[in-house]
Structure 1
Amino acid sequence: MSHTAGVSTRGFPGYPDTTRVPSVAEVVTGARTNTQPVELITLPGLEFMYSGGGITLLQCIMEKVMDTSFEKIVRAYVLDPLGMTRSCYKLADGEANVSQSYYTGFLPTENKWHIQPEQAAAGLWTTPTDLLKVVRALQSSLCEEPGNALSKASAETMLTRIKESMALTWFADNTKFGHAGGNNPGWHCFVFGYADLPWNKNDEGHSQIVQRTPSKCGIAVMTNSATGYLAVSKILHAITYLKGWPEFHTVSAGNAFETPLRAPKNAVTPAEWKDWIGGSWSDSWELVEAGSGLPAARITGSDVLIALRPAAISSVSYSIELLFDGLSLMLRLGWDGDERIVEFWNGGLATRTTLRSS
């Protein structure tokens, strides 16, 4: 459940041809499948290694122990109790209210969707509303509310990190838990909820969030495009910005968050940005005041000024977020102890570098 068993096969592409779908047993053994056999490839407990194959083994174990299908198990213990009426592992005959997948948002894929025999790892059909019912159930369990889905102890165990950012089925840090989702031929999704999880110390190296953790809040974003994760990232930034919630640092491994959208036109740049004027930043950039009195940036020695606009992303600690107008670049003006620094985002969180005044 924490992807630390050392089991192979990260994910599954699914099958577009409904007449040639293998059984879950065949998926595990690699017979008649488009993936390799699910095997133990490293020592159990040695490292975090995301494995849809391991989750598929868990599906087999559950079906064997309970002598029924995985779909019936989840229906009885999760979907029905939580009122997840728009969630299933097999579409009902004649179901029309289901998304067609796209490559880019404009060009539909040749197949509307793929069939996933690996139900536990990749086969859930659901909606943002239903996903947030799971998030709310965990939040309520942590608060020991009447009728909660789990005991507080079980909820805490589920959200305690085992390796890196991975807890039991959820990625988690000290203020939230969540998980990304993606299926061929074209879906990208994300769901997360805020929760006070102090036992998961934040050791990711970025500025600590100073805002109070929101109570029973969360976001689910689902897209039906192979390029949808770019939109998911920007939407998550924008919602937290507009709600005044703490900035969303991704808690899901392998998903690099992109630069945010521009803030609404009436957003005001804090006057404190001028405190960062002076000198060049790591021999690369200079902050200057444009003729309009607004911030701008330029490469050291260049006469070309690029306007900086407020970004739709929540601040961390004391920081000011400024987008290069029309570009996927962002400067975050902040602090490292008593030293003023600038984070330079060249396309996203994964590419950020720290610029120091020279």
Structure 2
Amino acid sequence: MSKIPCTSSFEESSGDLSDDSEDDSDDDEEEIQEDFLPLPPILPPDLDVEDPLVIDDWGFSAIATSVYQYAEDVLRKVWMNISWTVCHFHTLPQWLQDNDYILHGYRPPLQSFKRCLHSIFSVHTETGNIWTHLLGCIAFFGVGVFFLSYPTPELSHVDKAVFAAFFIGACFCLGLSAAFHTFLCHSEKAGRLFSKLDYCGISLLITGSFVPWLYYSFYCNFYQKIVYLSVVLVLGLTTVIVSLWPRFGEPKFRFLRAGNFLAFGLSGLVPAFHYAFSNSWALAVSQAGMQWLILMGSLYVIGTMFYALRIPERFWPGKFDIWFQSHQIFHCFVVAAAFVHYHGITEMVQYRVSVGECQFL
């Protein structure tokens, strides 16, 4: 069965992102016919098929096994449409070369959204990156729908709205990340587009995480709450704009990307210290969930360091091509940090409900 080599035999699409859905079925039909003709011989060419004793000696079990294997290949081709093979880092076009410590297992340029989607179920360098955040997105979507739709008379529409900001940010971040790692190999233009969307998703998660924490931490300090929320929204918008810079996604700006999002996340230390010094550490823990905020920030920082320093593959190139590479570890830390933050803000809203409205002297 013919396979698309690493140097793709597709004609260059000059960056066109359209998937030509109208001609897709015809193309697939031609491709399948081309790949499966002629039919490979099931019996040895020198076998006398006229003599039933010869057939019996050769063994019908062997014939059945050969037929089964061929049928399995046909079904795999038709249903999964897998017509490509993984390739080495140095055979990739420059726009697909990102981590030179990951040596083998890359998808070639597929130039088809359908093939990119099918590749989710194949094993390659992006498999772990896709599924870590795809499953995380599904989990947060389910938790968010349950939380927002569950009847809770003690929570107002504003309470639900600030939690919705967090769930939306988490789902967009994880979902756009999974989409980026899925469609990265479509074409250079598609890769750049989804890369920008991926970075915008990170900004949305950071912004959405700040909203409920600031809202409940400064619940009884209206002006401070408005100022901090306004600053966070401005910083989030600024980070989105920087993320849309065409050269932001280039490999040489890896540390700039990590530093940009790290700085945005660490800006939360300002309101955190403000709250702790204005009140006390005991109140910061009991009312503002400071311990969960610190744990969340630590997980983000640790995950970012794995990503920026490309640990562990930089020490053992080629050993973590498929599993446990730095980007997958980073993804796991992001999902864990988001769930830690969710736990923290649920404790904050429980405290707010238990003490009632603010008492002003």
Higher helix share: 2
Does the pair score TM above 0.5? Answer: no
Report the TM-score, using the length of structure 2 for normalisation.
Answer: 0.26
Higher strand share: 1
Larger radius of gyration: 2
